[in-house]
Structure 1
Amino acid sequence: MYAIRCLAVLLLLVPATAACGGGEERNGSSLSLEGETFSIQPAGQGGRLVGYDASSGERRFSLPPGLTTADGTRHFASTVGRSGTTLGQFDASSGEIVRTVKLRGRWSLAGLSPNGRWLALERATQTPGRTHIAITRADSGRPEHVLELGGDFDVDAVSADGRSLFLIEHLADGRYLIRLYDLANERLLRGSLREKGSEQIMTGYAWSGLASPDGKWLLTLFIDTRRRNAFVHALNLKTGTPACIDLPSGAGGFEMLKRYSLSLHPGGDHLFAVNPALGVVADVDLRRLRVSNEVEFARTAGAVSTVSAISNDGRTLYFASGSRLWGFDSPQGRVRGPYSVDGSVAGVDFSRDGRRLYAVTVGGRVILFDAAGGEKIAA
């Protein structure tokens, strides 16, 4: 978690109120789940990846903490040992090892390109004010670029073509800059990346984020405790241009704002930001870089995290907080639920055909729901 801030003035449309309802259990004996698996990261980004068998609900594999590609097909993890660092690449659907690479020195996985072709590693240093970064190819592990930068930097992202490295520079006064390192020409560009008309130096907390599979967007949820608001920092990885999109923030309490969860529409042109504590679903138009619609529903108390998943056709979004689950029908702009879950939800995912929703509790139990109506499906 690092700090950053952007100033942006955006048009927020008048909220529309949506209906809520309950659900009944239905028999799922006619549904075939044989051979289907799904995976979640219970601790969020950077955590371990756990895979489940959809038909039995049993855990199939658990991969070490690391980063997963934007399309969810591969998982990468770094492990430091006495003789150096081991980089592991795993198949995210089966948990099987694709390849391992040994590196000299103590490196940690700091970032990757959306397509998983390029990895960014950071090395701990005993020299204050110096940052060591290596950019490697995922298929070989061979370092293509080794950087030693003057200053305190963190990796933000690597572009899909491996030509650009986006960095967060930490300043001595606690503020931050977004910087671009031109890997093609091996140089750190002067100045910072910022939205036109915004402040160059920023503050706030990066809470969560995601990258688009097409390599265009890095979308990060930021919470600015000074301005008491939440916003999405939309960084175009192809053009290097950022934009800051304010989200509905209510009274601006930190515990409420951190309950936002982001889900990207499969078409890549819309981002859904949901927050049960605020009782709002915000539709972010990535073409116009603004919130295009807000849908309100009954707020829920409790300082717990929110998880969400969107169907392959982008028409249905499910999100959960604690032991409650909601469905959002995008074409109608309607929120359904809350539906009760027997336990606090750690992650949700859709079946391949989009007809079922898997909800995994923190205890590892898998509960099936009918995606169309929200009814529990009897095992």
Structure 2
Amino acid sequence: MSAAVLAVAAPAAGDGGPPQNAVQGWDGATRGAFRYVAVPTPGWTSLQMIRRDGGRIMQWMNLKGNWGIPFVAPDATGEALLGDGRTIVLGNVSYGMTLRKHSSFLFADTKRMRIRRTIHLDGHFAFDAVSPDARYLYLTEFVSPKDFAAYRVRAYDLRANRLLPKIVSDRRSWETSMQGWPVSRVDRNGWAFTLYATGGRPFIHALDTKHVAAVCLNLPWAKEPSRFFDYRLGFDRDGHLVVRGPKGRTLVTITRELAT
């Protein structure tokens, strides 16, 4: 079966509404030779594993309800795939002008095409990351019905099956909530680095997924440069985290001074 038969574009959220952090259609998750997509049908969602070299659907399963592949940043295409190579996280999809009262997440086995576990939470949560050992699921919790860019990071203990009460924040700051829109994401050695636009001074959120901790890295701009949503995070040859501009040139190298 060709992927083109079933893959459709995901509908856009209404202007001014809360962020839609799970996508449907061709924009799914990629890793290795496969792409994983969530295709909406009336009352159901089809989770499909598709070969990237030809579009052949290799596996699929139908899920009751409206589900999507988590969207973390424009250049992050495999964040919802766990390190075991066979588990993917899906989030519930909802459209509207208000924050949803309940959020759900599925952990699906892409080899056997079956649901491994389901998580239900009160509030508007979105997927952010998973620790390398799959101990912690990190979530973005949207906290303001009037400001959809305001959020805080939470951790769900997958072994204890509970949302940890602590807010995952920079210990050097009294603030536990942040504000911004994700622009770029890279991961290395258990750290998830996300570049955020704020409309003012941009920053990098560095999430230590192994130890349930975080650091905010301020960038040396008083306000956002133009075309900031075309900026990307990466690593240089020495392994330093860098910010690259729209043409790929390194503009900022993260140093100890920026991280303190």
Match of 1:36 in 2: none
- The yes-or-no answer on 1:178 pairing with 2:178 is no
What is the CA–CA distance in structure 2 between the aligned matches of 1:239 and 1:93, rounded to whole Å?
38
Q: Which has the higher contact order (CA 8 A, sep 6+)?
A: 1
Match of 1:274 in 2: 244
What is the CA–CA distance in structure 2 between the aligned matches of 1:186 and 1:247, rounded to whole Å?
36
How many residues align? The count is 223
Aligned letter for 1:244? C
Match of 1:218 in 2: 192
- The yes-or-no answer on 1:140 pairing with 2:112 is yes
State the Cα distance separating 1:230 from its structure 2 match: 1.9
Match of 1:346 in 2: none
Structure 1 gap segments, 5+ residues each: 1-44, 49-62, 292-379
What is the CA–CA distance in structure 1 between the aligned matches of 2:253 and 2:52, rounded to whole Å?
29
Q: Secondary structure at the match of 1:200?
A: coil
What is the CA–CA distance in structure 1 between the aligned matches of 2:23 and 2:68, rounded to whole Å?
14
The 5 Å alignment of 1:1-379 reads 64-69=26-31, 73-82=33-42, 84-92=44-52, 95-110=55-70, 112-113=80-81, 115=83, 116-124=85-93, 128-172=100-144, 173-174=146-147, 175-198=150-173, 199-212=175-188, 216-225=190-199, 228-249=200-221, 251-253=222-224, 255-265=226-236, 269-275=239-245, 281-284=251-254, 290=258
What is the CA–CA distance in structure 2 between the aligned matches of 1:84 and 1:159, rounded to whole Å?
29
Structure 2 gap segments, 5+ residues each: 1-20, 71-78
State the Cα distance separating 1:176 from its structure 2 match: 1.2
Distance 1:119 1:149, change over 3 A: same
What is the CA–CA distance in structure 1 between the aligned matches of 2:236 and 2:156, rounded to whole Å?
29
Q: Secondary structure at the match of 1:165?
A: strand
Distance 1:73 1:129, change over 3 A: same
Distance 1:191 1:289, change over 3 A: farther
Query: For the pair shown, which has the larger CA radius of gyration, 1 or 2?
Result: 1
What is the CA–CA distance in structure 2 between the aligned matches of 1:128 and 1:276, rounded to whole Å?
35
State the Cα distance separating 1:223 from its structure 2 match: 1.5
Please tell me whether the aligned partners of residues 120 and 158 of structure 1 are also in contact (alpha carbons under 8 angstroms): no
Q: Secondary structure at the match of 2:165?
A: coil
Aligned letter for 1:78? A
State the Cα distance separating 1:280 from its structure 2 match: 5.1
Aligned letter for 1:201? S
Distance 1:159 1:253, change over 3 A: closer
Please tell me whether the aligned partners of residues 23 and 68 of structure 2 are also in contact (alpha carbons under 8 angstroms): no
What is the CA–CA distance in structure 2 between the aligned matches of 1:64 and 1:280, rounded to whole Å?
31
**1:16-72, CA deviations, whole angstroms, 9 ceiling, x for partnerless residues?**
xxxxxxxxxxxxxxxxxxxxxxxxxxxxx9999xxxxxxxxxxxxxx9211224xx5
**1:236-282, CA deviations, whole angstroms, 9 ceiling, x for partnerless residues?**
22222212222332x51463433321223588x422211259x7522
**Cα-Cα RMSD:** 3.3
Distance 1:75 1:272, change over 3 A: farther
Aligned letter for 1:223? A
> How many percent identity over aligned positions?
26
Distance 1:254 1:244, change over 3 A: same
Which has the larger displacement, 124-133 or 161-170? Answer: 124-133
Aligned letter for 1:82? P
Q: Secondary structure at the match of 2:65?
A: coil
Match of 1:37 in 2: none
State the Cα distance separating 1:83 from its structure 2 match: 5.9
Q: Secondary structure at the match of 2:226?
A: helix
Distance 1:289 1:113, change over 3 A: farther
Q: TM-score, normalised by structure 2?
A: 0.71
